[in-house]
Structure 1
Amino acid sequence: MTRLLPSLRGIPRTIVFGATLTVLAIGGTFLLDPYRNFQLATIAAYFCATAGLTLLIGRSGQLSLGQAALMAAGGYGYALTANAMTDAGVTGVPRFLAGMLAAVAVSGALGWLLGLAGARLRGPYLAGVTLTLVIAVPAVADVFSGALRGDQGLQIAYDGVPPVLERLIAVEQWQAWVAILVAGVVVTGLVVIARGRLGLRMRAVRDDETAARLNGVRSGRVKVTAFTVSSVAAGAGGAVLCFATQSVSPGAYTLAFSLLLVVAVVLGGLGSIGGAALGSALIVLLPWLLSTATASLPVPTEVAQRLSGNLSILVFGVLLIVVMLVRPGGLASLRHRGRRRTARSAPELAAPAAPAADPDHAEAPVAAAGAGAQHP
């Protein structure tokens, strides 16, 4: 993108790059069958959550194990609002936008409360608080079973393809389009934040909180903001997942799923948005590949049933160990390694010959070197 549009810098370049990737992803849906498009919509929903999580952990240094609960909050917020809008006779895009606003509002408020706790807690204490939030999701659904329908969850009205596109695409492709658009907006916003002043303050607080405070950075406010932003991204992912599956239930947001999101971020590479995308694709496609391989093998029925629930967890555990031993920076670090190899293999440019000594200009480079030493 830099070579094509060298004049773009900063936020405009990030927006153009994100829009280009979004359009390419939408165009790629024409090459996929309905089930693959559904998988793509699921990956986009998870991508919102993992991108927010990698920003929280990798940039601000706060460990959260409750990203699944924040996705559930977004999903329930979307479902309740969508059902209310349906009862009021509102459908289509207005209903979707209202549901998305409710989802990010609910998840953002919950993340703000977690951020207040995160500003006072560290390490395992903060992880314990977020872990408790995930465990409490089924209990909250049971307590408010009148509105949340307990373990059965909420069903939303069918939201099909707009009449203009009915003859062009299937409903699964339409869901993939919506999921990709939402993920594009959310992730582009996260990249802008990570590369802006807030991202710099997050890294300052992560590296040395005391030094950040001495330099005028309010660490508590930065931590709360990081949690809120991450929660909004997770809520958007939960809303998109509810839109694609037409339902939301506490059984879809378990402790195992929340830990799987953390594993996806670590495998992809902490602090890397591209790594979050790789991790999201991995946690969707790998279980499907394993189940397909298991079904094709002559395995007894009892063994196949046991493998279907435990084999993917075992493989993820092995992958996590191998990646941490071989590439601690995650899968995203492979790209930087390739760039370093290319730079090493490229011929070195010949250094320009030093000009002859000139007594009239001898002091200029010395003064410049001194200024550079004083102002790194």
Structure 2
Amino acid sequence: MTARTTLRRGIPRTLALGALLTLLAIGGTFLLDPYRNFQLATVAAYFCATAGLTVLIGRSGQLSLGQAALMAAGGYGYALTANAMTDAGATGIPRFLVSLLAAMATAGVLGWLLGLAAARLRGPYLAGVTLALVIAVPAVAAVFSGVLRGDQGVQIAYDGMPPLLERLIAVEQWQAWVAILVAGVVVTGLAVYASGRTGLRVRAVRDDETAARLNGVRPGRVKVGAFTVSSVAAGAGGAVLCFVSQSVSPGAYTLAFSLLLVVAVVLGGLGSIGGAAIGSALIVLLPWVLGVAADALPLPADVQQRLSGNLSILVFGLLLIVVTLLRPGGLASLRPHRARRNSAATDARRVDDPPDPHGSARARTPRSSQGPAVEPVAQPTEPGKTGERGEPGGGGAQHPEPALEPARSAPPTPHRKR
């Protein structure tokens, strides 16, 4: 089976798994109340952004601290397009789809421009460029206040649900459905991108740019593509968040939020789509759980007010330290089947001894867990006989082992008289 056949077979499996998980998540909305469905929709929006970020950092090795700015670009693109289509008389699902595509295109163009810089920068220089982008979001909103409405942001009109669903489900459940569908499509596309031939090129550039270039891979083009794909996913997340909250403002996409997205990706596991889902859930659920716990404690009102805004940040920092020290692979590395697979690979490496660099023909014996491996004793070769390669002792490039018995001395040769 060739590598191309394996990749082609893996893509249908990825699509089927993504569709199955999306349907299961939609079915789970019937078990939740409206507020929990609102939280689920928010998690789905963050999932798009963190999944794109984990592919960018974990697979391509490029550090980006400006994912929140790309989400803001997607949110503004969605809001402005939705208002324009509402003024033109378009409503319903067509308005949502066109606005979503506009949001993804806006963030994708911005990510493409970042990718051009990423092709020439790396490390802290690239992180500094992306950091400057997220810092500039409030300034851009203030400069173009006539369009972006400054600090107040852009409001969009509620479009309602399809008439068939108005009497069956709540508004929050409908929003959760839309968010889950968008996240399912975006994340499945990211999984196909990361596991296909393009993903192999991305990992090759991450590991060694020189070797990848010698094998016909263009590192600059690969980096630009990775940034663009990650930005499109972030734009979709910003559009979903705008759809759920019916507004977009620069105050929702601060530097702290952008760094929180990076922390969530590291906690979940760099390069892991499942880890991105875990990190997105932590962003939404951890502050809520800590807020409920703080309200239950008999504390003064001023202390509870201080804890409500800072306790979640403190816990995120502690979790980051603990997970980095104990589980560098993130929380996604706690899955048991991955541990079994790693242990099996380790056992396989232990069984197969490395080849002898001298090219000897000594037999290999598997190592046992009961004791060290026993090396076979080389058989002595009688004098005068040749080995398999026509050399004394048959050792090839290796010198023959000394005989166990001393060689018999030849009788003295009599001197001939002249």
Q: TM-score, normalised by structure 1?
A: 0.88
How many Å apart are 1:27 and its aligned residue?
Answer: 0.3
Instruction: Indicate conservation of the 8 Å contact 1:161/1:170, yes or no.
Output: no
Aligned AA for 1:13?
R
How many Å apart are 1:324 and its aligned residue?
Answer: 0.5
The CA distance in 2 between the partners of 1:129 and 1:13, in whole Å, is: 37
> Paired residue for 1:233?
233
> Paired residue for 2:216?
216
How many Å apart are 1:185 and its aligned residue?
Answer: 0.2
How many Å apart are 1:156 and its aligned residue?
Answer: 0.3
Deviations 1:351-370 (A, max 9, x none): xxxxxxxxxxxxxxxxxxxx
> Paired residue for 1:276?
276
The CA distance in 1 between the partners of 2:14 and 2:341, in whole Å, is: 26
The CA distance in 2 between the partners of 1:285 and 1:166, in whole Å, is: 28
Deviations 1:24-43 (A, max 9, x none): 00000000000000000000
Query: What secondary structure is seen at the aligned counterpart in 2 of 1:314?
Result: helix
Aligned AA for 1:290?
L
1:327/1:15 CA distance change after superposition, 3 Å? same
> Paired residue for 1:303?
303
How many Å apart are 1:341 and its aligned residue?
Answer: 8.4
> Paired residue for 2:289?
289
Instruction: Indicate conservation of the 8 Å contact 1:41/1:244, yes or no.
Output: yes
The CA distance in 1 between the partners of 2:339 and 2:27, in whole Å, is: 28
Instruction: Indicate conservation of the 8 Å contact 1:327/1:333, yes or no.
Output: yes
1:322/1:343 CA distance change after superposition, 3 Å? closer
Deviations 1:74-111 (A, max 9, x none): 00000000000001111001100110011011000000
1:154 aligns with 2:164: no
1:133 aligns with 2:127: no
> Paired residue for 1:81?
81
Deviations 1:53-72 (A, max 9, x none): 00000000000000000000
Structure 1 segments of 4+ aligned residues over 2 angstroms from their partners? 336-339, 341-344
The CA distance in 1 between the partners of 2:340 and 2:257, in whole Å, is: 35
Aligned AA for 2:283?
I
Query: What secondary structure is seen at the aligned counterpart in 1 of 2:22?
Result: helix
The CA distance in 2 between the partners of 1:232 and 1:336, in whole Å, is: 33
Q: TM-score, normalised by structure 2?
A: 0.79
The CA distance in 1 between the partners of 2:250 and 2:342, in whole Å, is: 48
Deviations 1:285-338 (A, max 9, x none): 000000111111111111111111111000000000000011000001111566
Deviations 1:198-245 (A, max 9, x none): 100110111111111111110000000000000000000000000000
> Paired residue for 2:408?
none
The CA distance in 2 between the partners of 1:282 and 1:265, in whole Å, is: 10
Across the two proteins, how many residue pairs are aligned to each other? 339
Aligned AA for 1:300?
P
Deviations 1:239-278 (A, max 9, x none): 0000000000000000000000000000000000000000
How many Å apart are 1:187 and its aligned residue?
Answer: 0.3
1:18/1:299 CA distance change after superposition, 3 Å? same
The within-5 A match list for 1:1-376 is 9-336=9-336, 339-340=339-340
The CA distance in 2 between the partners of 1:169 and 1:161, in whole Å, is: 9
How many Å apart are 1:281 and its aligned residue?
Answer: 0.3
The CA distance in 1 between the partners of 2:342 and 2:335, in whole Å, is: 11
How many Å apart are 1:159 and its aligned residue?
Answer: 2.3
1:165/1:111 CA distance change after superposition, 3 Å? same
Deviations 1:126-172 (A, max 9, x none): 00000000000000000000110000001001122211101111000
Instruction: Indicate conservation of the 8 Å contact 2:92/2:161, yes or no.
Output: no
The CA distance in 2 between the partners of 1:317 and 1:142, in whole Å, is: 32
Aligned AA for 2:82?
A
> Paired residue for 1:359?
none
Query: What secondary structure is seen at the aligned counterpart in 2 of 1:9?
Result: helix
Flag the structure with larger Rg.
2
The CA distance in 2 between the partners of 1:138 and 1:294, in whole Å, is: 32
Aligned AA for 2:210?
T
The Cα RMSD (Å) is 1.6
The CA distance in 1 between the partners of 2:166 and 2:63, in whole Å, is: 44
How many Å apart are 1:9 and its aligned residue?
Answer: 2.7
The CA distance in 1 between the partners of 2:78 and 2:342, in whole Å, is: 47
Query: What secondary structure is seen at the aligned counterpart in 2 of 1:332?
Result: helix
> Paired residue for 1:354?
none
Greater share of helix residues, 1 or 2? 1
The CA distance in 1 between the partners of 2:333 and 2:342, in whole Å, is: 14
The CA distance in 1 between the partners of 2:342 and 2:66, in whole Å, is: 40
Query: What secondary structure is seen at the aligned counterpart in 2 of 1:257?
Result: helix
Aligned AA for 2:289?
L
1:140/1:13 CA distance change after superposition, 3 Å? same
Instruction: Indicate conservation of the 8 Å contact 1:47/1:277, yes or no.
Output: yes
Structure 1 gap ranges (5+): 1-7, 349-376
The CA distance in 1 between the partners of 2:343 and 2:34, in whole Å, is: 42
> Paired residue for 2:359?
none
The CA distance in 2 between the partners of 1:299 and 1:143, in whole Å, is: 43
Instruction: Indicate conservation of the 8 Å contact 2:267/2:330, yes or no.
Output: yes
